[in-house]
Structure 1
Amino acid sequence: MTETPNQNTKKSDALLSDFKARMKIFHSSEDDYLKSILEASTMEILQLCGEFDVLTYPLGKELIFERSRYAYNDQLEFFYPNFQESILNISFDLMVGETDGN
């Protein structure tokens, strides 16, 4: 199922709002920059772990936020070694969930 541009915008805005709350960012001057970080993080985590709904799967959303936090603080090279176990666990969790439905 493909999402419409309007659905993508709503999902992007919701993710941005949640991320800003988590990071305690109260201004909007960096919103475009933060959206680009969140988009890149979402694409990377989905590619590494598998498909999931970024707003309703809390472990995946958390991993997206962590990668985004590292990117925001120019420390992205430390994300992968620090979260390798989480990436593997989520990948396995999603894989097991897929096979349960077949």
Structure 2
Amino acid sequence: MEDISQTIVEEFKERMHISHGAEDSNLKRLLSFSVAYLKGKCGKFDIEDGSIMENVKAKELTFERARYAYNDAVEYFEDNFLHDIHSLGLDISFKDMEDIYDA
């Protein structure tokens, strides 16, 4: 399971208009599974670091997948976001290649 900070949970709750804390552990689990899913499809990223565009895109997709999971519709996520998933994977791959050549 991926480690999810309380800050990320709070951002997700704000986006989902959830004002209570009763579901925090479930939301953290959904976010963790979503990060793991996207890392498996796209490569490494850090949703805590908003200074790199790939991380911002990854955070957005993580929130979207967690939203689908929260609403018991995760089976539709990949079909609806396939272009974004592929785009993120390519962005991460290109960034990794740049880092290798710049080293």
TM-score by length of structure 2 reads 0.86
Paired residue for 2:83, among 70, 82, 85? 85
From 15, 26, 30, the equivalent of 2:19 is 26
Give per-residue Cα distances to partners, 1:31-66, cap 9 Å, x unaligned: 111111111111111111100111221100000000
Shift of 1:15: 1.1
Query: Which residue among 62, 67, 74 is the counterpart of 1:76?
Result: 74
Stretches of structure 2 lacking an aligned partner (at least 5 in a row): 50-54
Return the alpha-carbon distance in structure 1 between the equivalents of residues 31 and 92 of structure 2.
21
Question: Match for residue 35 of structure 2?
Answer: 42
CA displacement at 1:19 relative to structure 2: 0.3
Cα deviations by residue, 1:2-49 (Å, 9 ceiling, x for unpaired): xxxxxx4xx521110110011110000111111111111111111111
- Aligned partner of 2:5 in structure 1 is 12
Q: Considering only aligned residues, what root-mean-square deviation do their CA atoms show, in Å?
A: 1.0
Count of matched residue positions in the alignment of Structure 1 and Structure 2: 93
Aligned mates of 2:13, 2:75 — CA distance in 1: 22
What CA distance in whole angstroms lies between the structure 2 residues aligned with 1:100 and 1:38? 29
